Amino acid sequence: MVSVRALVFAVLVVGCGGQPGEVAGGLFPEPPGATTSTRPVTTDPPLAGSTSTIAAGVPSTTTGPSTASDPPVTTDPPTASDPLVAMDPPTTSLLPTTGWPAGSWVDPFSIGEPWGSVPGVLTFRGSPTRSFHGTGPVPTDPVVAWRFPRDAPMCSLSTVGDVQKEWCGVGWTGQPAVFQRDGHTWLVFGGLDGRVHFLDGITGARRLPDFTTGDLVKGSVTVDPDGYPLVYVGSRDDLMRVIAFDRDEPVELWSLHAEDSGQPLWNTDWDAAPLVLADHLFAAGENSRFHVVHLRRGYDADGLVTVDPELVWFTHGWDNQLIADVGYNLSIENSPLVIGDTLWFANSGGLVQGWDIAGLAIGIRPKRIFRFWVGDDVDATLVPDGDGMLYVAVEYERGTDRSHELGQVVKLDPSKPSDPLVWAIEARSEAPSGIWSTPAVHRDLLIVATNDGEVLGIDREAGTVRWTLHLPGPVWSSPTVVDDILVIGDCAPAGRILAFDVADTTVVPPLLWEVPTGACVEASPTVWNGTVYIGSRDGYMYALRDRR
């Protein structure tokens, strides 16, 4: 339900006395030399799955412990590990001007553009800025060109709490990677059958045998953007893997265990899609830590790809103030982005962070330069626009005062770190509600899909809702826009994939087509050269294209 109210407050951005990784007050002191742990752990499940505008700014509030029902995997206080590099960092200035500051890692002018030397959509939202949705044309009257597998659905058993249940298909975020290699279109994705699949994107046939992990693969894979035949993927089996696909079958070359950076704060899943930049892997875990790995990619004497990784830096995603505000249910499930020399991510406590990584490649430890608390879980990936603004989509689970003051769609100006709030909009009903889907910037709109089934077209300048679509919820599928066409999945009984015309951003988008699957579609679509690729919870991956 949609209602509008304008409120004016005063902004207070909560600070803390120390950097994450060096927690103020030594809340979790690290024993000397204790930077890794190799003992196995048992994974816990991740969290499951009316608009009003708030002008800048809103005072911070403090709440009691989280009300989440799933316990963390540990009962003892976790330890806070110091980063592995310890030189003093430089300061990257976030200039108070329109646009993003330049940097050596990612050119801000690449926002909205493809990334790397490999043609394709290689990671969740396609690029380090998480802003490339694919290449058209989008089908105009599609049919199911193929469905994978062609026999039994992709399903497996996994334990949630103390209950074992069957999971099928492709889950959140579940966006497949599609790319061109050696004259072929490849499609690579992880499934709830606990496997990574390597398909021919045209025919849907296997190009390689499946790679089997030890549990569900819920997030999106990342394909190496520099042409190395490597896939980077996390699983609920505690491991972030580097997998080679230049052999007769995919081979694991290396893995990072969720305990390799210390005792997990929440659990040991890996849902976020990692990034690969300048031979470095950027990976966030539900252990509530962020990791950077120097990959040292190469080839051996037989021409097969190799890696020789080293964990060069990690930090935890919480600080004392956040734990005081929301308790210990703190993980990182959204996918990191890099713009200029700043790394951006948020966590399930609602802490939005920017880290200066300008000197990381030469051993200078990153420094946190931006902190803003939105009050509740942020699983959706942060979304930038070309004007230097950052959009945050927030769940509503804890019912904190901060959630009520801010709302669930927040626009921030990172060039003003002490007063970044531009506007905020309420988009929730009763808990649990809010937003799991990652919004999309399209022209002068921010398109946001909610757990209640609303798809909102929000004026990015004014922070007001122009139009609303009503779909069967929850809508966790992230809106994908290519050639002025919005593609998204819903949770109707038949689990539809829908397309809307968003060329005119001032009117309610007309429906162009819909294709049913057999169950809720919570995964996100990839559009590539006339085909829409998307998974469903019915157990299958679909390729939709026009009849030929």
Q: Where are the domains of the chain?
A: 50-69+80-546
pLDDT 10s digits, 440-454: 999 999 999 999 999
Of residues 249 and 14, the one with the higher pLDDT is 249
- Residues present in the chain in total: 548
CB atoms within 10 A of CB 416: 16
Q: How far is CA 406 from CA 377, 388, 401, 412, in A?
A: 13, 21, 9, 12
Ranges of H-type helices in 18-124: none
Res. 110: pLDDT tops 80: yes
Q: Is the dihedral of CA 418, 420, 426, 428 positive or negative?
A: negative
The per-residue pLDDT for 332 is 97
pLDDT over 70, % of the chain: 82
User: Rounded to an integer, what distance in angstroms lies between the CA atom of residue 242 and that of residue 504?
Assistant: 43
Which among 266, 272, 248 has a CA at the least distance from the CA of 256?
A: 272
Place of tokens 């966590």: 347
Give the mean model confidence (pLDDT) for residues 247-259. Answer: 98
Closest Cα to residue 439, out of 70, 125, 96, 46? Answer: 125
Q: For the chain, state the CA radius of gyration.
A: 22
Task: Give the architecture-level CATH label for domain 50-69+80-546.
Answer: 7 Propeller (2.130)
The answer to whether the pTM exceeds 0.75 is yes
Six token digits for residue 272: 């976020």
Q: How far apart are CA 524 and CA 174, in angstroms?
A: 6
Two tokens at 168? Answer: 């099928």
Nearest Cα to 368, choosing from 387, 342, 336?
342
Residue pLDDT, tens place only, 444-481: 999 999 999 999 999 999 999 999 999 999 999 999 99
Is the pLDDT confidence value at 79 over 70? no
